[in-house]
C-alpha cells in the first residue's frame, strides 16, 4: 500500500511538473532515470512536448540504456516526432543518427547534468543510483571498475550501462577499442 501511495505521489508530482512545463520550466532530466516507469514516460512526453531540440541528445542517451519495453516505445515515438525521422528504429540506430548529426554540426551533444540531489528528497531516492555518475567526470572511476582484478557484478553492470550511455564520447570509444 505504501509503495502504491508513493507511486501515485510521484505520478502526481510529475503531472504538476508537466503543467509547469507548459509555462517554460521542464521536469528535471534526472527523472528520465526514475525507478517508476510511469514517471519516466511522463517525463519523456513532457520534455518532448517542449519541442526543444537541445534535449534530443539527452533523450537518446537515456533511451540507449532503457530496459523496459513500454518506456522504450515512448522514446521511439517522441524521438521520431522531434526529429521528423520515422525511419529510425532501435537504440543503436538513434545513437548512430546522433553521432552523424553531431559530426555534420547539425546538432550538439551537450548532456545536461544529472543531479538527483537537486530534486526533493522523496524523488532523489527514487532515481537509479548509477544515473548520477553518467557524466564524463566519472570516466576514470568507471573504466577502473572494468579493468579491476576483483569482479563485482553490480558495479560491472552499472559501468557497462555507463559505457553504452556515453559511447559517442571519444574517451569511451578509445577505452572500448
pLDDT classification of 26: cutoffs 50, 70, 90: confident
Please give the distance of CA 4 from its chain centroid, rounded to a whole number: 24
pLDDT classification of 34: cutoffs 50, 70, 90: very high
φ/ψ of residue 127, rounded to 5: -80, 135
φ/ψ of residue 146, rounded to 5: -75, -20
pLDDT at 27: 87
Kind and range of the H or E element at 18?
helix 2-21
DSSP-derived secondary structure for 134-150: -SGGGHHHHHHHHH-SS
What is the tens place of the pLDDT at every residue in 156-167?
Answer: 999 999 999 999
Structure-model confidence comparison of residues 26 and 146, the more confident one:
146
What is the tens place of the pLDDT at every residue in 44-58?
Answer: 999 999 999 999 999
φ/ψ of residue 162, rounded to 5: -60, -50
Percent of the chain with pLDDT over 70: 86
> At CB < 8 A and 24+ separation, what contacts does 156-163 make?
158/129, 158/130, 158/133, 161/65, 161/130, 162/130, 162/133, 162/134, 162/138
pLDDT classification of 23: cutoffs 50, 70, 90: very low
Amino acid at each position: 500500500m505504501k509503495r502504491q501511495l508513493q507511486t501515485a505521489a510521484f505520478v502526481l508530482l510529475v503531472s504538476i511538473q508537466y503543467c509547469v512545463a507548459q509555462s517554460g520550466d521542464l521536469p528535471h532530466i534526472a527523472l528520465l532515470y526514475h525507478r517508476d516507469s510511469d514517471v519516466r514516460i511522463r517525463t519523456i512526453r513532457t520534455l518532448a512536448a517542449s519541442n526543444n531540440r537541445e534535449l534530443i541528445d539527452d533523450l537518446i542517451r537515456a533511451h540507449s540504456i532503457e530496459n523496459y519495453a513500454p518506456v522504450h516505445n515512448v522514446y521511439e515515438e517522441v524521438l521520431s516526432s522531434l526529429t521528423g525521422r520515422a525511419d529510425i528504429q532501435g537504440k543503436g540506430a538513434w545513437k548512430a543518427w546522433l553521432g552523424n548529426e553531431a559530426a555534420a554540426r547539425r546538432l550538439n551533444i551537450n548532456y545536461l547534468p544529472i543531479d538527483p540531489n537537486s530534486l526533493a528528497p522523496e524523488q532523489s531516492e527514487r532515481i537509479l543510483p548509477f544515473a548520477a555518475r553518467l557524466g564524463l567526470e566519472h570516466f576514470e572511476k568507471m573504466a577502473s571498475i572494468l579493468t579491476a582484478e576483483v569482479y563485482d557484478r553490480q558495479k560491472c553492470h552499472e559501468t557497462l550501462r555507463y559505457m553504452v550511455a556515453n559511447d559517442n564520447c571519444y574517451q569511451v570509444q578509445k577505452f572500448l577499442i
